Chain A
Amino acid sequence: MKKIIYFLLTILMVSGCTDVGEIVPNTPTQANITSNYSADFLHDWFKLECRLVKDTPGFFPPQAARVFAYTGIAAYESVYRGIPEARSLAGQINAFNPSTMPRADAVSIQYHWGIVANAAVADIMRLMFDKNLSKDNLTIINQKEEENFKALRPDAASKAVADLSVELGKAIAEAVFEYSKTDGGHESYLNPFSKPFTPVKGIDKWIPTDAKNQTPLSPGWKSCRPLLTANMEFALPPKPIDFSVNPNSNFYKAALQVYDVVKRAKPEEQEIARFWADDPFSTCTPTGHTFNIMSQLLEETEATLEKSAVGYAMLAIAENDAFITCWKVKYDYNLIRPVSYIQKYIDVNFKTVIGTPPFPAYTSGHATEAAVGERVFTKLFTNGDGKYSFTDRSQLQHGFGTRKFDSFMQVSEECGDSRLYGGIHYDMDNQLGLQMGRGIGNNVIKLINWPKNVK
């Protein structure tokens, strides 16, 4: 009898010590797989994030890419346990330690993945916009979280399971936020221009292009931690064309090309420049635009929570690193903007079609980020050839019309070209930006062990 008691006690102790995080979390019971869940609520969250980026002071393109990134990571971490063969991003992306993530026993507890994601996304948004979040927008987040919870709750196995799901979501958001704090961009929205900062001097160097921004945007962003270290290899593109003021030089010709394109004033090109400008103010930056396209594509293809979470996370990681690598190149070279060069050496009265953003030219942030979108969309929505007919409606809300495309490459190339049409980038900025973005996008797809055949 004693032996039996000892045996039972030992069994109990062993099972009590079992690390629940080690209970193979990615072999969910068939009945509780993420692909059985609707993603409507998640699409709505990402649309709301666009609004928050617009409304919240300090969220310029790098800061916006970062906030979308951690939201995407939190969403994926919330639901991967319900995806067969899926792995956490912890242990796969830079310095994201698995031991910092909450444990969950997805075998014994039938977590409601929708409720987990709803709680995680709501919390990560509150945390990431934190000090600059308006009361109105905080209320909107709180209300949306509650409404979603009410809608999802009846599908949870019990009240206790619903509560545990919320608890897990909140713990994931907290862990992801803690991870984000060490990346070098924490609370950068409070001082996006990193003032005080002394711009680098030189004939070929960036100079302020307007009287408001005497220092460039986020010069220290290049030191932020990329989510994939390997992406920094794309921060070493060829040097820009050698600077020269000689009218026969390639640099002069590159500037003259910008001048000629602006001067010919083709209405279609000017509309394209404005469409992709994601400015002046009131839009949710290039990353927000690409996330809006992602939401539209996911909705149109009736993607489940599984594919939506994977898609947002892929794009999130790629966008974050696109801005870090691009900003590194920008501040490694500090290249003068076309408007400054043209006004000095070609035509003093030159005016661009859209405003020149307050940071160096080479390479283009728009081109880089659009190209990561191209690679992610190609992976998610095509057989690899990138051919896909769709109508971009994401800018209707900002007063533009729709634009139709037949491939994702056409999208990114038009976005890149739009910066030339707008008079704010040399063509080399756009072409090299596209190359960088494609490399980063491919890396994110290949180097992370993503779930296969997502629905």
Chain B
Amino acid sequence: MSTLRILKRSLLLAVGVVSLLGCTDTNAVQETDVALMADLRCEAQQLKNKRFEVANVLRFRNDSLAKLDIPLTDLQKQEEDSIRQRLTLRTGEVAVRLTRTMDSLFEIHYKTVEQRQAFDVAVERKVQEMCVSE
């Protein structure tokens, strides 16, 4: 093999390596991270929809009663509080899991603002794909 050919091959190899390195996306997101976060976001979103649904049922009933000047009975108040408490608890549990997961992912894999934004976009896309309201 002539020296020229060896040189040519080495040059090509070097160019290949450099272009590969150049193509490496520093904002790349890991699919497993996206799936994990999307799962949690989906759970939180479904819970949020449930909260608003329940809140609407309660407030429309209360609106109607208020128009007739009828206050809620103690029993109705207790029922309402208990529904709210259950949802608050579930929301709190999901919120803690989601926040912890996000914080640790950010701390380990997505340290820069750009990386986090890329991660947001990927998670949002996944949530849109997989998350159907209950």
Contact = CB atoms under 8 A, between A and B. Distances in A.
B80 A397 contact: no
B29 interface: no
A300 B102 CA distance: 13
B84 A210 contact: no
Given A47-B99, A280-B52, A398-B44, A211 B66 contact: yes
Interface stretch (A153-161, A242-250, A399-407): A399-407
Contacts of A399: 41, 44-49, 51, 91, 94
Q: From DSSP, what is the main secondary structure of chain B's interface residues?
A: helix
Interface in A365-421: 390-391, 393, 396-402
A51 B95 contact: yes
Interface residues of B, number: 41
Interface stretch (B1-9, B13-21, B113-121): B113-121
A55 B117 CA distance: 31
Of the four ranges (under 10, 10 to 19, 20 to 34, 35 or more), the interface on chain A belongs to 20 to 34
Interface string B101-130: 010000000000100110010001001000
Contacts of B120: 391, 393, 402
A212 B72 contact: yes
B94 A210 contact: no
A214 B98 CA distance: 37
B95 A355 contact: no
The residue among B49, B51, B80, B127 with the most chain A CB atoms within 10 A of its own CB is: B51
B35 interface: no
A455 interface: no
A211 B91 contact: no
A398 B96 CA distance: 10
Contacts of A401: 124, 127
Interface in B41-91: 41, 44-49, 51-52, 54-55, 59-63, 65-67, 70-72, 77, 80, 84, 87-88, 91
Interface of B: 41, 44-49, 51-52, 54-55, 59-63, 65-67, 70-72, 77, 80, 84, 87-88, 91-92, 94-96, 98-99, 102, 113, 116-117, 120, 124, 127
Interface of A: 47, 51, 54-55, 208-212, 214, 274, 279-282, 300, 339, 343, 351, 355, 390-391, 393, 396-402
